[in-house]
Amino acid sequence: MKKANSHTEWGTLQEVVVGSAMGAQIPAIKGKDIHCVDYANIDDLNSMPSGSYSTDILHETQEDLDLFAKQLQNMDIVVHRPEPMNYASIHSTPLWQSDGYYGYCPRDSILIIGDKIIETPMALRSRYFETLSLRKILSRYTDAGSVHVSAPKPMLTDDLYDRTNLDKPTLCNSEPVFDAANIIRCGKDIFYLVSNSGNHKGAQWLQTYLGQDYNVHVMDNIYAHVHIDTTILPLCPGKVLLNPSRINSSNLPEYFKYWDKIWSPDPVLTPCMEKWAPGSKWIGMNVLSLGPNTVAVEKRQTPLIKLLELNGFNVLEVNLKHCRTLSGGPHCVTLDTCRVDSYDDYS
């Protein structure tokens, strides 16, 4: 196994982690954390969903993920899979206890910057130990010379969360907290979305850790819910996919001003368990670049597929029929560990 290497969102993909639906659930222990991060729109904490997804949904989703992994392997991409975990088991710190969530979205818990593997300080208590399912994979990368670090483990006490004004992110700034999916990478420039799953202190910690070789651009007042990959996704140098309901000329980062802008069409609505799905319809624009000219897209998103083809991209159609119920499209359910790309200035 080679060292980790991923500086961008678009370099030719060589190695990747594809998630797993095995044991996926919404935590049964309902706390202020999941209420404010995933279900802030539900006033009553006790009205939130909880427990295992249905057997049929998990079985079908695992089949879809296995097929996606096979599609990538057929393109000579090395695919890794998480170890099974019992997400229903209880874990605790001296301050709280929780059960787990899932291993469906490895994108969230690990950030790859070059050959650096960074375990992120995620905002949900239920995901505190999620990276244990990836430790054997990550260990092989460290054996090959990658740097593996963990951001300071957050305390995640109730004073971190505040949902009194849902027009603003529900995370306070008592400590650094962020998901890796709050971030997109363009070589030396790192874009960080402040939202319900990433606060300003998280961006400050990341900039301090990465040092002067990187510019962490903080994006505020764009989208308060969670991750960036349903809002802005660079597909190759000079071309960026944008969400027209969230991005406009006044809040688009200056960096992308002269890039070709591909405005996502309205997503095709896919069936989902509405109450269980914290993600919006825009999970439809959650795509994974397999290289500068190839993009993996959920196969029901035919208007987006046609638009990307018109813009010169080859499209790998991926079947993720329950992607909205489990809140993750092709970008969410993967973690690109090795790409053919480099640290550079792509502005």
For residue 338, indicate whether it is catalytic: no
Q: Which strand ranges, in their side-by-side order, compose the sheet holding 189-193?
A: 183-186, 189-193, 215-219
For residue 225, indicate whether it is catalytic: no
For residue 105, indicate whether it is catalytic: no
Catalytic hit among 200, 225, 227, 331: 227
**3-state secondary structure (DSSP) of residue 210:** helix
> How many other CB atoms are found less than 10 A from the CB of residue 202?
29
Catalytic hit among 33, 179, 189, 229: 179
Catalytic hit among 236, 272, 323, 332: 332
Sign of the CA dihedral with 331 first, then 337, 341, and 343 last: positive
Q: Which of 141, 67, 151, 58 is nearest to 104 (CA)?
A: 58
CB 48 within 8 A of CB 30: yes
Rounded to whole angstroms, how far apart are CA atoms 231 and 242?
6
Q: Which strand ranges, in their side-by-side order, compose the sheet holding 288-291?
A: 288-291, 294-298, 314-318
Name the residue with tokens 């040092």.
211
Identify any residues that bridge with 97 across adjacent strands, giving them in sequence order: 92
**Residues catalogued as catalytic:** 179, 227, 332
